[in-house]
Structure formats: structure tokens, C-alpha cells
Chain A
Amino acid sequence: MNQPVIDLSPKVSDEVRKTTCYMCACRCGINVHMKDGKVAYIEGNKDHPVNRGVLCAKGSAGIMQVNAPSRLRKPLKRVGERGSGEFEEIEWDEALQIAADWLEPVRQSNPEKLAFFTGRDQSQSFTSFWAQNFGTPNYAAHGGFCSVNMAAAGIYTMGGAFWEFGQPDWDHTKLFMLFGVAEDHDSNPIKMGIGKIKARGARVIGVNPIRTGYNAVADDWVGITPGTDGLFILAMIHCLMKAGKIDLHYLAQYTNAPVLVINNPGGADHGLLMRDENGKELVIDRATGKLTPFDQPGVKPDLAATYEKDGQTHRPVFHQMAEMYLDEQYTPENVADRCGIPAKRIRAIAAELARVAFEEAFTLDHEWTDFRGEKHAQMIGRPVSFHSMRGISAHANGFQTCRALHTLQILLGTVEVPGGFRFKPPYPKPATAHPKPHVGLTPGAPLNGPHLGFTHGPEDLALKEDGTPARIDKAFTWENPMSSHGLMHMVISNAYAGDPYKIDVLFMYMANMSWNSTMNTRGVIDMLTDKDENGDYVIPKIIYSDAYSSEMVAYSDLILPDTTYLERHDCISLLDRPICEADAAADAIRWPVIEPDRDVKGFQSMLCELGAKLNLPGFVKEDGSQKYADYGDYIVNHERRPGIGPLAGFRGENGDQAGRGAVNPKQLDQYIANGGFFVEHIPAGSNYYKPWNMAYQDWAVNIGIYDKPTPYLFSLYVEPLRKFQLAAEGHGDRQPPDHLRARIKDTMSPLPIWYSSEEDNHAADYPVTALTQRPMAMYHSWGSQNAWLRQLHGHNPLYVPTRLMRENNLSDGDWAKVTSPHGEITVPVLEMAALNDNTIWTWNAIGKRKGAWALEENAPEATRGFLLNHLIHELLPPKGDGLRWANSDPITGQAAWFDLKVRIEKAAAPAESQPGFAPIKSPVGQGPKDLTWKVGT
């Protein structure tokens, strides 16, 4: 045959530069293929511990993010009214001078007048360091509306959480149960894991009102009623306990189930854990029958024994659990209707968990020694693993629901064992090993410690002497005592209300607060643009840094343009949120694989400069000159503790030390040569049972994760919760306001409970739950300015279950009005059968404001796309008591945006999705019409 001759071995690129993706929070390794100095193609890095060569749609579309016409080009100074989009381009010198002129007086007089909040920030250990040096107590990232329930519940309960912080033992698990809508975090590793277990034919159970994504491939789908996951889990706990299908050995040895609880009704210590004079929890040793500290060599903690003293019977935690969870209220029959799951199905799933955990148990031949010094010849595996997505946590009951799930997996003995769920370094790490919140401010000086942390009782709350909140977001107050990530979603609302106080400068990074990163979008826009009686903005000065022309740009006074992810230094640090695997510690960098073609600066490099300009102690040398030339310089030379810096790899003068070691000036080069990351494997035999495995503990100390071995017990019973309850009962000096007492008593149960927030959200009048999730091809990447990704998701329909379609006489393409207690939207609908029949949902953050993101004003994102955010308020509907009740979890302050209750009805098709917003003037113009992108010839 006369076939054309084609070149089967064309040159792929001139050079491959290996760095770390930033299109979402996965932090995959990428190979950036360069041609003629330009980015030609991006693929996954096969050697990288996170993604092993695979790469998602966002990652592969990075090239369209780097050439996006929405990139900001130069610092901007607002010249029109806020919201108009009228700016003038200025030089960096002037921009930084303006910032310094605004910030310097704040720092010298009252640093709390600066609220510094970062959104999709992957450099929190750096940005918090900056804020700490500035001296403001008002710093946090976006965890409060994203993930704090997930993180805090995990850390308080078992010293680690789901998402990037742990993973199922994909190689051994036989039953994987995944909870919650919005399957985004740790997306590539979870896809890889699911692929792995699917290839083995292992079973996946998905519990999610919406059957998309991972739930679409789940072997069994449980289309639960949103917000009832906790109740479903407690019912399974009921079944498993009643059947004795729990791992008693595991519970006795590794959890606080056997720890005695003080029984002293009415006393200030009632319900606290019994401790010895060294503060160690006490158990009854089954061998001796005596009261013994839990960690003594040879002790066999007794789950059953009680302790009599002073006429009181003190019972172990496990007794309380039995009493609580064997109660009739948790029988499957009693929860079935509420959860929307037949009782038989609940029992079947519980039975299946029991069957796999106990009948399919297996052992690995790894000898190991536990923290009591006991040697074990083998490791027992229980091949059931759990994971959970935001769906279960973004509710007002999310903290307790996440706790319930952890309790379930601990009862089955599947955490940190072969086949179960395992932590990634720096976890396991108990809540007590984390810092506590600090708010001690001194004008002109750094804060007295890190902003965020874990409270262990009323004494740790961030309150001023007069009992009012010390932080602008009211984190760590009686309203949400354990708000470990702060409450970014409350900052603007509180600053506007002057509650707890007014601020002078709002400084934000990568946080689209006037659009999709906020609840109550319209309200926030009004707050940002409202003026006081003097004609000044109520929030006086707003500095914003972003790489792109997002909706927030127009609402800021000074824009400090950031670089794209391929033009910058970053470190994905063990001090922060590293890229570790369950079997390895790992961290990574980004480095400028291309130079910016615009007058922009990496945000962190800019902060090094601004910090020096403000004379912040951590950012100037002794002679007052700038300490870190840029973020790359900081990454290499900063030391948090002697020998411990942002990067753990290639430390020491020769670059051959891992974890600890002197500063190595060639560290970045060595990272680059190594593919942009560093990995140190956990030795076999140390990689399971990590919280109690002395070999792991010693390894972790060596590598700098701990300063000393820190074994601990899992907290089925979370004592700090009880301490807040005791305060609410009237004990102690620090007392909650009266209107919060009942809520604290009711919700802060030291053992997981379930409660409904339906009444608060007027479910009687608004019976349908409305949810959002990000599509996999856009999760976390705000990809609408991306020419490739926006073809996949250029607008978002409202997905409506078949039942509601029929009841409302709707067909595909019709429009519906959706009303919540707070607002209404009118949007196009599409039918979905694989959906809980009382739930509607849409893809989040597809809808865009006209004029933003360099899109044309008639782009589908602006005409058909919409946000559900318009229906959600940061506050609950008023209760008539004159108080502002946050729409948040009362324990952690997590924004409860999945508690949204609505009504739906057919509507005449409007010209565009409603509410409509006036266009904003694009500060970067608009993109080209057509694209034929090819950099090579």
C-alpha cells in the first residue's frame, strides 16, 4: 500500500521542567515541556509520589491558565467607585508605598485593624508568619468555609483527618466506603485509589445524595438525605455494638474507650477524664484490677471495669458509649425515614462492614513494638476503609458527623491498620501537639504566637479581657469555640457591622469574596461598597492580590498582581500541608519555569518586600535591610526551629540531610534536579499503627516532624468538648453569654451526637435541600477563564430529581425559581434520576459576573450560569431575638452551606439567569476571538 510516510518520532520538546501543579489542592508533579522557551505541553510526572504520572483535566489545561487573557498585568489603583472596575495602572514602587502607608499606622497604633485573610493559599505557614510579625490577630485562610469540620473533627478525635491528610490503604482494602457530596479534595490520589481497588474487584459503597463522579462508579449507592449522615452512621454504630462486631482489643489498647470518666454530678469535674498527678489518663488494668496510667508497660486497659471512690461509680468511656449508642433512638428503624434509607439497607451495610472487617481480617508479617513496649509479631489488618468529602462537614452538625464517622472506623479497628485508613505525615499528631490560638497583640510588635490552633477548654478562647471576641471573625469564641481555621466567611460581614469592632485595612489574597467565595454574594457586594455618614467606605481600605481579573478585583482599592503558578516559587511544606503519602514524608516546590511577561510579582515575594518596608522583625536583617530577596530566598534560608525550614529535603551543608539540617544554599537546585520534590519513605514495619508504633515515632523525630516521640490515644471521648459544656453549666471563671449556654450544652457532646438544623433553616416552608459541588474538570481552579475547560462547563443547569420535575411540571430546559429564606434565583433546570428525590444541586462557581475573567459580556457563564450563593446567608434567618446567629457549625464555625433549604417552582424563562448583575469594566480587556495555540513549528 502506498501510505504516507509520517514522522513517528518527532521531537517532543527542547527541555522538560519539573514543577508542581497548582490548578487545585492536589499538588501533583508535572512535567512542563518547553519549546523555544515557551510552555508547549504539560503532563504528569511519573516519579511523583502524589500522582505517579497521571494528571487531571485541570492540570493538562494549565497551559491555558498561563496564557489566559484574564491575567492581571500591572499593579492597579482604583480611580472610580468601588465595583466600577475603573483602575489606573501604577508602578510597583508606588503600589508598595501605598500599601505601606496604609499598614504602617495600623501596625503602630492597633494591629487588629488589619484583617489579613488568604483564600486558596498554599503557603499558610509563610503568610501566617508574615501576619504574626505584623502583629495582627486577624489572620486565617479559607478553611473556615471549606474544611474545618473535616480537619478539626479528625484531629480532635484521632490526630489526623481525611482529604490530603490521610488515605485508605488502597493496596489492601476490600471495602471502601465514601461519604459526602463534593468529591474534590485529594482528587487524583482518590481516583487512582478507586481505580486500583476497582481493578481488584473490591467493593465501593458511596453515600451521597448525588450519584456523580465516584458515586457513579460505586458498586452500591446510598442516596442519603443531606445532613443526616451522622444519624446513619450512629445507627450503624448501634448495630455493630449490639452485635459485638467491634475491635475490643484495638479499643482497649489504642483509644480512650477504657479511660475512666469522673462521675461527680454537679461538680466542676463531672464528665472529665480521670487523670493522675502527671495529667495522664487513668484506666483499670485488667491484669491487676488497679487504677493505672494508660501508658504503663504491660497495662491491659479494661473496657468493662468501673472504679468506686467516695461513693461514686466512675465508669470508662466505653460504658457511656454503650449506654448512648445502644439506645433505641439509634435503631435503623428509628432513623430510616429521616435518613431516607430503608432500615434493612442500613443493617445490610453494617453487616457487610462487620463481615469484611472481621471475617476478612488478615495479617502482615511486620514485627513492631508499641508505646507500652509490647512487641507484636504481626500487624492485624481490617480491610475496610472510609473516606469522606465536604458533604458531611459543611453542615451545622458537621463536626459531630465527622466525629461519628471516625468513631465508626475506630470501633471497627480500621484506622492505621493494614487495609484501613492511614495518616500521611506530619500526621498522626494529636490535637494537644498543635499550637493554641494566640491573640496577644502589642502595637508595633509581633503577635505573641501563631494565630490558629486547637482550643482545649475555655481558657484557650480568643477573648479580650472584657470577654468580647479578640478576632474580627470571632474565631475561638463562645459562638464557635473550636474554630481552628478561623472564619473567613464572617470577616467582611463582621467588619461591616463593626461587630466585634471596625477595621481599617482588609488585605486579601486569592479570595473571590465578592462572588463565589462568599455566601450572600449580593450582601457582601453591598457591604464592600457601602459608605458611612462621612461618605467614606465602611470598610475603609481593601488591598487584594490575585493573578487574574476575578470579580473581587473591582471591589478593591489596590491590586497587587500575582504571577501564575508556572512563574513563581512555592513550597508545599511539611510545616503546612505537604504532599506526603501514608508510606512517606514528602514535600515539593514550584519554581519559575517561565518568567512573567507582565509586571507582576509572586504574592509571597511581594510580602517579603512589603514586610521589609514595614520593618517586620522576621523580614529585615539586623541592619534593617530586606532579609529575604524573594520567596525562593525565604524557602531556602528561613528556619522555623534550628535545622528545620520550609523544605525538609536536601538540607545540611552538603544537601544530604533529610528533615533536619543546616540551611543549604543549593537546596532549590537540588529539588529541581530531583523533579521538584523530595520524598523520604517510612521504613516497612513503621508504616502502620503509627500513633503507637515506636519505630515510626522515632523516625518522625529524626525527620523533624516531632521533637520527641508523641504517642497518644484516639479520643472517642473528646474531653475539651466536655470542658466547654461544663462552662455552659456554670463552672469556671470564663462563662459563655446566657443565650449560648443551651446550645453549647446541647451540641458540644464529648461523644458524637446528631442534631438537625432544619428548623433553623425553616425547612417546614423550604423543604428541599440545595447543594453545590465543583465539577472534576474545574474543582478548585476557577477555570472559567480557561479556554479549554470552559468548553466543558460553560454554564450550569440546576439538577432536579425526577419527583420534583414531575410535581412542578418541569421538563429539561425549563426555568425554575428557587427560593430560600434569604433570596431567590431563576435558573434553567435539567432532570436527574440518580439523585436523592428531595435534593437539587448544581455545579458551583461556573456562573460569572459580566466583565470579569476577561470573558465577553454575553458569555454563557454570565447569561445562563448562576451561583447558589445568592440563596445562602452567612447568618441564619433572624430568630426574633435581635441576635446575629451565624449560619455555621456552633462548635467550629464551619460555614453550613449544605444546610440550605429551598422551595422550587416553575418560572417563565427570563432572558438571563436571575439575579442579574450589571457588568463591571474589565481591567484587562477581553480575550482574543479564536485560538490556534501551538508554540513549536
Chain B
Amino acid sequence: MHPAPSVIFFTTFSGLGFGLLFFLGLGFPGVTGWTAFAFFAIAYLMAVGGLMASTFHLGRPERAIKAFTQWRSSWLSREAWCAVGALVLMGLYGLGLVFFDARWTVLGLLGALFSMATVFTTSMIYTQLKTIPRWNMKLTPVKFLSLSLAGGALLAGQVSIALVLLVIAGLVQLYTWVEGDKALNASGTNMATATGLGNIGHVRAFEPPHTGTNYLLKEFVHVIGRKHSQKLRVIALGLMTIAPIILLALPFSHVLGVLAILSHIAGVLTARWLFFAEAEHVVGLYYGKR
């Protein structure tokens, strides 16, 4: 898949933003007033910024509102509802914390629930795609959720929870790679089933339908960066989990905390780049590519 910056930013920052909102909704940290405002501002900047970024990959962003209509069947539509729900609920909840010094707990819990539902629905957009076996597994939502929670805890300054969650998220990520590498072969989809010609013999792509590129090749067949994937995986895991864990394990300082967050974000961005770049869409088989 084409690792489009818009979707990488979207999934990374909305994951972090809603992760932070989740913890805020649960009352961690139990801030109010301007401190609360700062936490909420960061969360909203990330969540809304991520959502805004996602509109950059739309061909017709001015019609984005129509995406709310198909919640009965479409995960993207559900995501839109959940995101709006989470933002509205948490907005009201935040309003109470910042301006009225009031903690409307039920609102917070609901907001937290919707925040995680948003991350879950986002993950389901990818998970549902049988066409991309690397994504089409139960681990995908686990990964999105564990990362969102770990990032949220980190941003929320919940060091001890963050340490546990970072370890979990790292392990889930690792396991996802291991399973993901087997996914296309395990899916049973290959050039033989794609063409139906497998019973004659070994199928090999000959002339492509066009000598230049097209939307499909640009969007679904991204082979260029993959040769660096092992290196990038190490970097991603290092930045995303190991470095923050080390930084958090050190005697606490705000500088180290910020560094841990920045490292984590850089790691998630790298992992997310890999999430797209490594994903093989089965349509590539028609071009003899994966």
C-alpha cells in the first residue's frame, strides 16, 4: 500500500489524541482548570488534527459530511460517528473540568468509551479488508488499541501504566509483524487463484496492461521502501517502546518525559509507515507484484 502521509498522520495522531482523551475521561490525571485545558488542547490538537489530515486523502473533501450516513455497514462511517461522539462528549466533560471545576464522571466514562471506540473503528477500517491479508486479522485492532492506550498513558503522564502498556504494545507490534509476514501466503490468494490459471502450470505475469503507472499501482503496489523494512522495524520498536521505557525508568524529569513522548511518536510514525508500506494488496498479484 502507498504510505500516504495523510493516513499515517491521521492514524498516528488520532490514536494518540483519543488515547489521551481516554485517560482524561477516566480522570487520569485528575486535572482541572488551565492544566486541564492544556491536556485537552493537546488531545484535541492530535485527535482533530489527525482527523483533518485524513481528509487530505479524500478526492472530494467538501463532501466529507456524507460519510456519516452509512453507520449500519461502514466502519469508516462508524468511525466518523464515534469520533464526533467522543469529541462532543469529551468536549462537554472538558468544559466542566476547565471552566466549572466540575468532573461529570459519567460523561467522562462515556467519552473515554467513545474515544476507544473511535480507535477501534479506525482499526476496523483496515482489519476488515480481506484484500490486505497483513491487516485482515484480529491482531490489528489489538495493535491499534494497545498503541493508543500506551501513547495515551504516556501523554497523560501515567508513567507506571504507560510502562506496562508500552511493553504490551511493543509485544503486540512484534507479534503482528511475525504473523503479518505469513499472512499473504496463509490467505490462500496467489497468482494461481487470481488468474484461475494455476491448474495449467506456474503462472507468471507477462506484459502489464499498461507500460506506465496507474492509480492501482500507485495506491496498492509499494515495493520501493520494503527492502529496508527490517531496519525500520528495529528503529520503530526502539523509538516507540524501548527508548520511552528507558527514559521513563530513569529518574523522572519533564525533559525526559517529553523526550519519551517524542520518541514514542516518532516510533509510531515509523511503525505506521511500515503498516502501509509493507501491506500487500492482493491486486498486486495481477501485476505479478506484492
- Tell me if B211 counts as interface (CB < 8 A to partner A): yes
The answer to whether B206 and A860 touch across the interface, beta carbons within 8 angstroms, is: no
Q: Which residues of B contact A860 (CB under 8 A)?
A: 211-212
The answer to whether A792 and B206 touch across the interface, beta carbons within 8 angstroms, is: no
- Tell me if B210 counts as interface (CB < 8 A to partner A): yes
- Residue-wise, chain A 215-247 has the 8 Å CB interface mask toward B (1 for contact) of 000000000000000000000000000000000
CA of A812 to CA of B211, assembled, Å:
14
Give chain A interface residues in 777-818, CB to chain B under 8 Å. Answer: 791-796
- Tell me if A608 counts as interface (CB < 8 A to partner B): no
- Tell me if A21 counts as interface (CB < 8 A to partner B): no
Residue of A nearest to B206 (CB): A832
CA of A791 to CA of B214, assembled, Å:
9
Main secondary structure of the interface of A (DSSP, over half): loop
- Tell me if B251 counts as interface (CB < 8 A to partner A): no
CA of A860 to CA of B210, assembled, Å:
12
Q: Which residues of B contact A795 (CB under 8 A)?
A: 211
Q: Which residues of A contact B212 (CB under 8 A)?
A: 791, 794, 860
Give the most central of B204, B206, B210, B211: most A CB within 10 Å: B211
Least Cβ–Cβ distance between A3 and chain B, in angstroms: 14
Residue of B nearest to A792 (CB): B210
The answer to whether A791 and B210 touch across the interface, beta carbons within 8 angstroms, is: yes
13 contacts between A and B (CB under 8 A): A791-B210, A791-B211, A791-B212, A791-B214, A792-B209, A792-B211, A793-B211, A794-B210, A794-B211, A795-B211, A796-B211, A833-B204, A860-B211
- Residue-wise, chain B 194-205 has the 8 Å CB interface mask toward A (1 for contact) of 000000000010
Closest 5 CB pairs of A and B: A794-B211, A791-B210, A794-B212, A795-B211, A792-B210
Interfacial residues, chain B to chain A (CB-CB below 8 A) = 204, 206, 209-212, 214
Residue of B nearest to A795 (CB): B211
Q: Which residues of A contact B206 (CB under 8 A)?
A: 832
Residue of A nearest to B288 (CB): A812
Q: Which residues of B contact A792 (CB under 8 A)?
A: 209-211
Least Cβ–Cβ distance between B163 and chain A, in angstroms: 48
Residue of B nearest to A216 (CB): B206
CA of A792 to CA of B206, assembled, Å:
14
Q: Which residues of A contact B214 (CB under 8 A)?
A: 791
Q: Which residues of B contact A791 (CB under 8 A)?
A: 210-212, 214
Main secondary structure of the interface of B (DSSP, over half): loop
Q: Which residues of B contact A833 (CB under 8 A)?
A: 204
Total of A-B residue pairs, C-beta within 8 Å: 17
Least Cβ–Cβ distance between A797 and chain B, in angstroms: 9
Q: Which residues of B contact A796 (CB under 8 A)?
A: 211
Give the most central of B204, B206, B210, B214: most A CB within 10 Å: B206
CA of A860 to CA of B214, assembled, Å:
15
Residue of B nearest to A834 (CB): B206
Give chain A interface residues in 795-850, CB to chain B under 8 Å. Answer: 795-796, 832-833
Q: How many of chain A's residues touch chain B, expressed as a range? A: under 10
Q: Which residues of A contact B209 (CB under 8 A)?
A: 792
Q: Which residues of B contact A832 (CB under 8 A)?
A: 206
- Residue-wise, chain A 742-786 has the 8 Å CB interface mask toward B (1 for contact) of 000000000000000000000000000000000000000000000
CA of A795 to CA of B212, assembled, Å:
8
CA of A791 to CA of B209, assembled, Å:
9
CA of A791 to CA of B211, assembled, Å:
6
CA of A791 to CA of B217, assembled, Å:
14
Least Cβ–Cβ distance between A932 and chain B, in angstroms: 14
Least Cβ–Cβ distance between A793 and chain B, in angstroms: 6
Q: Which residues of B contact A794 (CB under 8 A)?
A: 210-212
CA of A52 to CA of B214, assembled, Å:
33
CA of A796 to CA of B209, assembled, Å:
13
Residue of A nearest to B214 (CB): A791
Residue of B nearest to A861 (CB): B211
Q: Which residues of B contact A793 (CB under 8 A)?
A: 211
Least Cβ–Cβ distance between A173 and chain B, in angstroms: 27
Least Cβ–Cβ distance between B73 and chain A, in angstroms: 13
Residue of B nearest to A791 (CB): B210
Least Cβ–Cβ distance between B178 and chain A, in angstroms: 30
CA of A796 to CA of B206, assembled, Å:
13
Least Cβ–Cβ distance between B7 and chain A, in angstroms: 25
Q: Which residues of A contact B204 (CB under 8 A)?
A: 833
Give the most central of A792, A833, A860: most B CB within 10 Å: A792
Least Cβ–Cβ distance between A802 and chain B, in angstroms: 10
Least Cβ–Cβ distance between A778 and chain B, in angstroms: 11
Q: Which residues of A contact B211 (CB under 8 A)?
A: 791-796, 860
CA of A796 to CA of B212, assembled, Å:
11
Least Cβ–Cβ distance between B76 and chain A, in angstroms: 20
Q: A791-B212, A860-B211 are in contact. List 15 more A-B contacts (CB 8 A).
A: A791-B210, A791-B211, A791-B214, A792-B209, A792-B210, A792-B211, A793-B211, A794-B210, A794-B211, A794-B212, A795-B211, A796-B211, A832-B206, A833-B204, A860-B212
Least Cβ–Cβ distance between B22 and chain A, in angstroms: 37
CA of A796 to CA of B208, assembled, Å:
12
CA of A203 to CA of B209, assembled, Å:
28
Residue of A nearest to B210 (CB): A791
CA of A793 to CA of B207, assembled, Å:
10
CA of A766 to CA of B214, assembled, Å:
39
Least Cβ–Cβ distance between B182 and chain A, in angstroms: 26
Residue of B nearest to A796 (CB): B211
Residue of A nearest to B211 (CB): A794
Least Cβ–Cβ distance between A813 and chain B, in angstroms: 12
CA of A792 to CA of B209, assembled, Å:
6
Least Cβ–Cβ distance between B98 and chain A, in angstroms: 43
CA of A833 to CA of B214, assembled, Å:
27
CA of A832 to CA of B206, assembled, Å:
8
Least Cβ–Cβ distance between B256 and chain A, in angstroms: 48
CA of A833 to CA of B211, assembled, Å:
20
Least Cβ–Cβ distance between B211 and chain A, in angstroms: 4
Least Cβ–Cβ distance between B14 and chain A, in angstroms: 31
Least Cβ–Cβ distance between A741 and chain B, in angstroms: 48
CA of A794 to CA of B209, assembled, Å:
11
Residue of A nearest to B208 (CB): A792
Least Cβ–Cβ distance between B212 and chain A, in angstroms: 5
CA of A795 to CA of B214, assembled, Å:
15
Give chain A interface residues in 242-299, CB to chain B under 8 Å. Answer: none
